[in-house]
Chain A
Amino acid sequence: MENTEIRDFISNAIDENQVMLFMKGTPERPACGFSMRTAGALNALGVQYAALDILPDPRIREELSKLAGWPTIPQLFVGGELIGGCDIVTEMYESGELAERLDVQMPEEPEERVDEAEAAQAPPAHQGSIQLEDRLEG
C-alpha cells in the first residue's frame, strides 16, 4: 500500500465517520493509557464511534500527524474536525463540553474522572474496526 493510499484512507475515515478515534490498540484492548482514557470518555458517554489502531504500520501515524498537524496519538475527530488528544478530550469530558459537542447527555456523577477501571467497565460502543489492517496486507 502506498503512502498516498494510506493518507486517502485516513482522510476518508475522518470524513465518513462523525466520531473518529485514532488510537494505539483498540477500544477493547487499548495499548496505551492515553488511548485508553480517550476511548473511555467516549464509552462513558455511550456514543457510537469508529476507531482505528495506528500501530500495525508506522506510516499510519506519520500520515495522520501530517494531515492533522498534531504530533501525538490518540486523536479524536468529530464532524471532520480535530478535537484533540487525551488531555483536551479528558478536559472536555469533565467540563461537559464533550457531551455537548457530541449531542449526548452527561452520565451521572460527571465530576468523576474517567479512570482506567471505569474505561474497562464501560461497554465498548464503537462501530468496530474499519479494517485498514486487512487492506495493508494487500
Chain B
Amino acid sequence: MPTTEDLRLRIEQALPNSRVSVEDLTGGGDHFRAEVTSNRFEGLSRIEQHKLVYGVFGDEVGGVIHALSIKTSTP
C-alpha cells in the first residue's frame, strides 16, 4: 500500500523543483490529497496541470490509489 511519503517522492521526482504535500484523507492508504506547486504548471490549464500529476501514477489511480484529490498552483 502506498504511503503519503511514497506519493510525495514520486511527484517530486517527476516534477523537479516542485513543492508537494500529500495527505492520507481516510488513514486507509487509498484516498489521498496532493497539493503541488510547480513552475511546470505555468501556461497550462487546470485540467492539464492535474493530468500531469495523475500521469505520475498511471493506472494506479483508480486502482491501488482509489482516489487522488489534487490542488495545483504555480510558485
Contacts and interface: CB of A to CB of B under 8 A. Distances in A.
Interface of A: 34, 61, 65, 69-72, 82-88, 91
Contacts of A61: 62
Contact-residue bracket for chain B: 10 to 19
A86 B47 CA distance: 12
B10 interface: no
A84 B62 contact: no
A69 B51 contact: yes
A83 B48 CA distance: 10
Interface of B: 46-47, 50-51, 54, 57, 59, 61-62, 67-71
> Is the contact region of chain B dominated by helix, strand, or loop, or is it mixed?
mixed
Contacts of A71: 54, 57, 59, 61-62
B49 to A, nearest CB: 9
A82 B61 CA distance: 18
Contacts of A87: 50, 69-71
Nearest to B47: A84
Contacts of B50: 84-85, 87-88
Given A65-B62, A71-B62, A72-B61, A83 B69 contact: no
Contact of B67 (A34, A65, A69, A83): A34
Nearest to B70: A87
Contacts of A82: 47
Contacts of B51: 69-70
A82 B51 CA distance: 12
A91 B67 contact: no
B61 to A, nearest CB: 4
Residue from A61, A82, A84, A86 having most chain B Cβ neighbours under 10 A = A84
Contacts of B59: 71
A70 B46 contact: no
